[in-house]
């Protein structure tokens, strides 16, 4: 059983995975030309999440989360990205449980398209891809009572890239996220949908 004290450990493990993955990708694609053209970006994003469907029989409260993402621009307007994220929701009731948290963690990968907006320095961003996430159910004492296991979902996103000098940018975005997993209703596995709209702000370092 997992307590709240071990939640920090899981978050740190996710960061370690993200750092390891980032280094591996950079070693795979790194070149002097790519570095000079600043084809890489490292981003941190935080946001608020608003569910669009019930999770089983539960109406989740507004959630929040954060993530880290690394992207590589392999064409002038097109990049590939990968990253790790953590999101948390609270609800008064789920099936036979009361006052619980739903924690979603996992990985994301896909494509980003960016292009200038007219003659300004601003760019619009469109992105989409897959997620490989799992759901954990935690009771009021912070102990994990269920784990859905990892499974695939998808996401789509749009936003604006606001340059801050030559190496940094701010990116306000709106994202739709969809994931289907199974959680226990008593001892019976029951399919649930975690679908939500996330509004967030990212800070990117270009290199």
Mean pLDDT, residues 11-26: 60
Domain range summary for the chain, segments of one domain joined by +: 4-206
CATH of domain 4-206: 2.40.160.20
Percent of the chain with pLDDT over 90: 76
Euclidean distance between CA atoms 95 and 86, whole angstroms: 23
pTM of the model: 0.82
pLDDT beyond 60 at 6 = no
Rounded-to-integer distance, Cα 163 and Cα 121, Å: 7
The answer to whether 99 and 133 are in contact (CB under 8 A) is: no
Cα 169 to Cα 64, 123, 172, distances in angstroms: 22, 10, 10
pLDDT digits (tens, 9 = 90+) for 35-61: 457 899 999 999 999 999 999 999 999
Proportion of the chain above pLDDT 70, given as a percent: 83
Task: Note whether 133 and 149 are within 8 A (CB).
Answer: no
Q: How confident is the model at residue 96 (pLDDT cuts 50, 70, 90)?
A: confident
pLDDT for residue 35: 47
- Taking alpha carbons only, the member of 120, 61, 131, 115 closest to residue 92 is 61
Give mean pLDDT, residues 157-186.
96
Closest Cα partner for 71 from 112, 15, 16, 21?
Answer: 112
Range 68-73 average pLDDT = 98
């Amino acid at each position: 059983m997992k307590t709240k004290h071990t939640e920090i450990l899981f978050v740190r493990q996710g960061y370690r995975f993200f750092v390891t993955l980032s280094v591996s990708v950079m070693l795979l694609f790194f070149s002097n030309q790519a570095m000079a053209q600043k084809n890489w970006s490292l981003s941190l994003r935080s946001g608020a999440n608003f569910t669009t469907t019930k999770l089983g029989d539960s109406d989740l409260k507004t959630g929040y989360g954060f993530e880290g993402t690394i992207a590589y621009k392999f064409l002038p307007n097109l990049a590939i990205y990968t990253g790790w994220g953590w999101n948390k929701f609270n609800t008064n009731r789920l099936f036979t449980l009361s006052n619980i948290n739903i924690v979603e963690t996992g990985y994301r990968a896909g494509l980003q398209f960016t292009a200038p907006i007219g003659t300004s320095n601003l760019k619009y961003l469109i992105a989409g891809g897959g997620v490989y996430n799992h759901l954990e159910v935690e009771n009021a004492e912070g102990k994990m009572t269920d784990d859905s296991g990892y499974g695939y979902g998808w996401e789509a996103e749009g936003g604006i890239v606001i340059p801050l000098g030559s190496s940094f940018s701010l990116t306000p975005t709106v994202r739709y996220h969809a994931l289907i997993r199974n959680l226990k209703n008593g001892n019976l596995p029951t399919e649930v949908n975690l679908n939500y709209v996330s509004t967030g702000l990212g800070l990117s370092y270009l290199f």
